[in-house]
Amino acid sequence: MKPILLTAILAAAALSAGAASAEEWNAFSRNARLVYLVDVGGIATVGDTTSIRVARVPLQTPVGDYSHNIDEYEIRCSAKQARFLAEIEFGPDGAEVGRYPEADAAWDDIRPNSLSAYFQPIVCDGARADGPNAASIKAYIDNGRGK
């Protein structure tokens, strides 16, 4: 009986992990140099902590240049706190070239007009920016970077 229960638990965990890992990038902010996207398909909550990925995609790069950065954050919605966990850098070919974790990242209050204040409603309230989502950063870039 125990092996069957363990198998069922592992299968359920695999299904829920798979559902959370399907990329779905939603552009939520931009300036003259960058567009910011959150992976709404990858938002995952454990207890009172929600993990998210935020991409920074340059707007002024040549066609076929897939350079971008992805920042990993955690948010405590009820406490209105966020912390930066890591930055992942991707080169022109779209391959990872560097990973920069933030050791012992502290929780910070989410301040008005900060980047975390812009993605907090997406993470905590289910808000979404207008426009189509992209299945990957490559797809977003190939489709004109939201222009």
Give the C-alpha separation, 30 to 65, whole Å. 18
- pLDDT for 2: 41
Chain mean pLDDT for the chain: 88
- Which class is 22-142 in CATH? mainly beta
Q: What is the pLDDT of residue 147?
A: 72
CA 132/CA 38 separation, integer angstroms: 13
Task: With beta carbons less than 8 A apart as the criterion, state whether 38 and 52 touch.
Answer: yes
Give tens-digit pLDDT for 79-120: 999 999 999 999 999 999 999 999 899 999 999 999 999 999
Measure the CA–CA gap between 50 and 123, rounded to whole angstroms: 8
Please give the pLDDT value at position 145: 86
Closest CA to 87 of 64, 133, 56: 56
DSSP letter for 65, please: -
**Domain segments of the chain: what residues?**
22-142
Q: What is the mean pLDDT of residues 50-65?
A: 96
pTM over cut 0.85: no
pLDDT of residue 131: 76
Q: What is the mean pLDDT of residues 52-77?
A: 96
**Rounded distance between C-alpha atoms, residue 127 and residue 139, angstroms:** 22
Task: Give the pLDDT confidence of 1-48 residue by residue, as tens digits.
Answer: 444 433 333 333 433 444 456 899 999 999 999 999 999 999 999 999
| Residue reference for tokens 């009172």 | 48
